[in-house]
Chain A
Amino acid sequence: MNIDFVNVSARYGDKQVLYNVSLSIPYRSVYALIGPSGCGKTTLLRSINRLNDLIPGFALSGEIIIRGEPVYAMKNKRQIQNLRLKTGMIFQRPNPLPMSVMQNMIFPYMEHIHASLPEARRLAEEKLRVVGLYDEIKDRLNKPAYMLSGGQQQRLCIARSLMLPTDILLMDEPCSALDPISTFKIEDLLSGIKKNHTIIMVTHNTEQARRISDYTAFFYMGRLIEAGSTLQIFSAPKQELTQKYITGRM
């Protein structure tokens, strides 16, 4: 049940951004992708649920295998929609839709699943508890989601992605727009979600990677430089580049 990248290269038009990346991500782990800006880690993340397909000129060679299924062999729209549905995505900036908190929660659920409204609401409340948001905002469930603070919005988005039958969570620098306390709260709740999700997180913050991830992969200029357990990467990196990056000399 791993996620396997096999010889993945990717380009936007003429510009190649990933070169022959091969990587295996174990099930139910927190995997951090680190590296300087423009190293291709976000592209890799967005390739997993084929969200890059929306960008004109994007092309990928190689293969990504999830749950034993080759993702880029999918031709059928339904397969791709299913893949995205089972793969939660958290963006850099919180992305609540312009509707109320509760509507945000049940929107993707009602979109895909035959369920009654009370059922959906009950599930939504349960998921809001998972991210520790329910007690904070239970009297504001029908207020517009944009009225929440940035950190609350981001936790709302995490709770929303748990509404669908996801087992993979892709996070694209989920805390870069947040203050330290909100960041801490999110890092904290990930350990709970980890029990039944594989979490892949792009981060600029090496400290964050060290704190919460089980494995870390370091990218530089579109190439995978080094991957391994977080402990090993941060205590005994094999590559000089990795050493330079994690000690902040790059």
Chain B
Amino acid sequence: MRVKKVEKFHPTEWLMRVSAFAGILAIIFIFIFIFMKAAPVFAGSGLKLITGSGFDSQIAEAFDAPADAPLLSFGMSGLIAGTLLSTLLALVIAGILSVGAAITICELAPKPVAAMLLSVVRLMASIPSVVFGLIGAMIVVPFLENTFITVDMQIEFLAFFQMTGRNLLASVIVLAFMIAPTVITLSADALYSVPGIYKETGYAFGMSRFRVIQKILLPAARSGIIAGLILGAGRGIGEAIAVSMVCGGVGMIPSLSHGIAAIFTPVLPLAAAIVNKSEAMSVPAVESALFACGALLLLMGTLFALAARFYVKQFTYGGIHEV
């Protein structure tokens, strides 16, 4: 029998109830303030903000413009392209690396080796982004410069951009290894949570170990792996510091007409742009432009977060694993 109890009044309980909603307050204020500060540039640029280009020179002009006639028209297509391209390519590499590594950890490696691999992944996840950037600038950038980029190539592309080791590819490599630990951890979780009976079923059909992994475990873990990739994408678009150290700092759109050399185009993703141009922030127009970058990032980040939420909910309540 259940007795309905009279709940006593606890001041601490009410304190808890009130402070629980700080999160809602924070996200609302973030949206309000970012968009408020970005409003002048949104109004001044219109749709050209997304379609136009020339962000780098516009920032320089806005910085020098007189205070009573601020320049508020910016074109961020290069920044958006840089963000999407670097994240997408990094995601492809991270995905390829992560699925394989997760399979090794969950299915192939003997227990002690798997435990070791798992702690390596955890360790990698906790390396600060600035250290990734430092290693990128120290190792990846010179490596690209010395191995792939020749003087002839630099001369050939001088009309378009200055080709150095700081470019799209460097950003992609650095981002890929920053994202990979997240994707590996979530993929491994998903593989671990596939019911053991599926595996036995496969073996009982006379399938080999890897066929069981490939045809039964991976499809069953697909949702978890995709959720990991979505989270990784969110991290990729928002990464500012590490990317700003290796991206080249010029908001160009890599052009397919340059062939494979397009991956050596210097880029400037939105998040990196905020860091790179933050010193010019004392000028209100520049400040507003950087907040516009932030607003675009906020929208993308929210989109990924909602996608992950929707996907995980489906994954959890879809009942795919119910027998």
Per the bound structure, the CA–CA distance linking A241 and B197 in Å amounts to 34
Of the candidate stretches A95-103, A118-126, A134-142, A217-225, the one touching chain B is A95-103
A84 touching B323 by the CB < 8 A rule?
no
Question: What 8 A-B pairs come out closest when comparing CB atoms?
Answer: A85-B206, A84-B206, A89-B204, A81-B206, A108-B205, A95-B201, A95-B197, A98-B320
Q: Which A residue sits closest to B215, measured CB to CB?
A: A111
Residue from B204, B207, B211, B319 within 8 A of A51 (CB atoms): B204
Residue pairs across A and B with Cβ atoms less than 8 A apart, 6 shown, are A54-B199, A54-B200, A93-B323, A95-B197, A107-B215, A164-B205
Residue from A54, A97, A107, A112 within 8 A of B206 (CB atoms): A112
Residue from B199, B207, B208, B321 within 8 A of A98 (CB atoms): B321
Residue from B204, B215, B220 within 8 A of A84 (CB atoms): B204
- Chain B contact residues: helix, strand, loop or mixed: helix
> Shortest beta-carbon distance, B250 to chain A, in Å?
48
Interfacial residues of chain B within 182-208, with CB under 8 A of chain A in the complex = 197-201, 203-208
| A146 within 8 Å of B (CB atoms) | yes
Q: Hey, which chain B residues are within 8 Å of A51, CB to CB?
A: 200, 203-204
Known: A91-B197, A93-B197, A98-B219. A85 touches B322 (CB 8 A): no
| B216 within 8 Å of A (CB atoms) | yes
Q: Hey, which chain A residues are within 8 Å of B200, CB to CB?
A: 51, 54, 91, 95
Known: A111-B215, A146-B319. A95 touches B198 (CB 8 A): yes
User: Which of B201, B211, B219 neighbours the largest number of chain A CB atoms within 10 Å of its CB?
Assistant: B201
For chain B, the count of residues having a C-beta within 8 Å of the partner chain is 21
Interface flags, B293-323, vs A, CB<8A=1, else 0: 0000000000000000000000000011111
Q: Hey, which chain A residues are within 8 Å of B206, CB to CB?
A: 81-86, 112, 164
| A49 within 8 Å of B (CB atoms) | yes
> Shortest beta-carbon distance, B321 to chain A, in Å?
7
Q: Hey, which chain A residues are within 8 Å of B219, CB to CB?
A: 98-99
Q: Which B residue sits closest to A145, measured CB to CB?
A: B323
Interfacial residues of chain A within 105-134, with CB under 8 A of chain B in the complex = 107-108, 111-112
Q: Hey, which chain A residues are within 8 Å of B321, CB to CB?
A: 98
> Shortest beta-carbon distance, B112 to chain A, in Å?
13
Q: Which B residue sits closest to A84, measured CB to CB?
A: B206
B323 touching A54 by the CB < 8 A rule?
no
| A77 within 8 Å of B (CB atoms) | yes
Per the bound structure, the CA–CA distance linking A97 and B201 in Å amounts to 8
Q: Hey, which chain B residues are within 8 Å of A91, CB to CB?
A: 197, 200-201
Per the bound structure, the CA–CA distance linking A72 and B217 in Å amounts to 28
A111 touching B211 by the CB < 8 A rule?
yes
